[in-house]
């Protein structure tokens, strides 16, 4: 998708968020956003189902409440992004940088996060059921009350991770 079209959609979305006339919720279902430069973008509550954000930079972006189910985000950069309450079920987020991001209450069920960097990420009350977190860096991540049932945590580095109240039934650990 062309950068000018993305900017227009983001501007209309901002109007929609603030209740201004002429605003429209961003509908980026199935959009080709590979390698897109979207730092600090605000797409809270947007629909990005099935979009391809492979290699995209969404650092410091706001995607809270967005629907990102079935999205490809391999090698994406989501450094310090806010994805709280977002639907990331069945997302491919391998080899990605999600360090210091906020994913509190996010749905990451059946997500593939293999070999991603989630250092110091907030995953409080996140749903990670059946997620693949193998070889993932979770150093200092906060997984308080997270649902990790049946998740693959083989070779995940969880040094200093907080797992208070986390559900680990059936999870594969080293």
Q: Report the CATH number at residue 43.
A: 2.160.20.80
| Residue 134 falls inside a structural domain | yes
3-class DSSP state of 14: helix
| Residue 18 falls inside a structural domain | no
CA quadruple 55, 132, 167, 173: dihedral positive or negative?
Answer: negative
Q: Does residue 98 contact residue 75 with C-beta atoms inside 8 Å?
A: no
**Structure confidence by residue, pLDDT tens digits, 38-81:** 999 999 999 999 999 999 999 999 999 999 999 999 999 999 99
- Domains held by the chain: number: 1
**Structure confidence by residue, pLDDT tens digits, 110-168:** 999 999 999 999 999 999 999 999 999 999 999 999 999 999 999 999 999 999 999 99
Cα 127 to Cα 135: distance, rounded to the nearest angstrom:
19
Cα 34 to Cα 18: distance, rounded to the nearest angstrom:
28
| Residue 111 falls inside a structural domain | yes
| Residue 5 falls inside a structural domain | no
End-to-end CA distance of the chain: 41
- C-alpha dist (Å) from residue 153 to 80, 115, 117, 118: 23, 11, 13, 13
Q: Does residue 18 contact residue 7 with C-beta atoms inside 8 Å?
A: no
Q: Token pair 């897109």 is at which residue?
A: 36
| Residue 102 falls inside a structural domain | yes
- pLDDT for 1 beyond 90: no
3-class DSSP state of 38: coil
- Residue 145, domain extent: 26-174
Largest CA distance in the chain: 54
Cα 45 to Cα 34: distance, rounded to the nearest angstrom:
20
pTM of the full structure: 0.95
| Residue 116 falls inside a structural domain | yes
Q: Does residue 43 contact residue 63 with C-beta atoms inside 8 Å?
A: yes
């Amino acid at each position: 998708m062309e950068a000018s079209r993305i900017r227009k959609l983001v501007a209309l979305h901002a109007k929609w968020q603030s209740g201004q006339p002429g605003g429209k919720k961003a509908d980026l279902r199935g959009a080709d956003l590979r390698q897109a430069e979207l730092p600090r973008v605000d797409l809270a509550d947007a629909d990005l189902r099935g979009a391809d954000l492979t290699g995209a930079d969404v650092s410091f972006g706001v995607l809270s409440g967005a629907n990102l189910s079935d999205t490809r985000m391999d090698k994406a950069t989501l450094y310090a992004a806010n994805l709280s309450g977002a639907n990331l079920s069945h997302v491919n987020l391998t080899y990605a940088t999600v360090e210091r991001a906020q994913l509190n209450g996010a749905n990451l069920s059946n997500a593939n996060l293999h070999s991603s960097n989630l250092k110091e990420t907030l995953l409080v009350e996140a749903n990670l059921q059946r997620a693949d977190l193998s070889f993932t860096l979770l150093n200092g991540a906060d997984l308080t009350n997270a649902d990790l049932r049946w998740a693959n945590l083989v070779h995940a580095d969880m040094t200093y991770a907080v797992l208070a109240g986390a559900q680990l039934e059936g999870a594969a650990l080293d």
